[in-house]
Amino acid sequence: MRYPAEHKAETHASIVAAASRIFRERGAEANGIGSVMKELGLTKGGFYRHFKSRDQLYAEAVIQAFVQMGDAMVAAAEAAPPGRQLQALIERYLSVEHLKSPGAGCVIATLGSDIARQSPALRKQIARSMQAYRERLLPYMPGSTMEEKTAAYAILYPSMVGVMVAARSVVDKAYQEQMLARAREHFVRAWSAPE
């Protein structure tokens, strides 16, 4: 049975969305094509009607994750009062909500070490989406030049990723929240204190 092009496009988008969430929640290695397709009620064989390879799905899922997180971060900054945009970014990233929602959160905090093990070609593709994410957040970074803003991002963002990874690895929920609260306080004080 042939489906209309719209149906194929919708199914493709559903597969990418599910993979993006599943990979961030449960890891990409243990949850491959079969897990994604099964969750959507589709056959593993049907996967190849939508993707040339597992790498194509992986790249599209990671790219979507960067777009999703970028949307959330920009929305937080734009909703903040003038002069508080960076504080809003820090508070959004290091929130308990983000901690408890890895499937909708930062892909580097969930799949960073996995991405590093992918082929150079796949990493280059992902690097473009990582750069686009950075470009979306640069306007909110401290600094008077683009070079200064880029340097600030290169320190602040990986630092927040590290805090999130460490907090998620801790079993004690109270300690997790304490880690996030202390990091938020520190980063807000160090990076976004009003002038």
Each residue of 107-144: pLDDT tens digit?
A: 999 999 999 999 999 999 999 999 999 999 999 999 99
CATH code for the structural domain at 5-191: 1.10.357.10
Q: What is the pLDDT of residue 192?
A: 73
Is residue 32 predicted with pLDDT exceeding 70? no
| Cβ atoms of 129 and 62 closer than 8 Å | yes
Structure tokens at 55: 């790498």
Is residue 29 predicted with pLDDT exceeding 50? yes
Q: Is the pTM of this model over 0.85?
A: yes
Mean pLDDT, the chain, whole residue set: 89
Cα–Cα distance measured from residue 118 to residue 114, given in angstroms and rounded to the nearest whole number: 7
Is residue 194 predicted with pLDDT exceeding 70? no
Residue 142: exposure state from Cβ atoms within 10 A (0-12, 13-18, ≥19): middle
- Tell me, rounded to whole angstroms, the distance of Cα 151 from its chain centroid: 20
Is residue 2 predicted with pLDDT exceeding 80? no
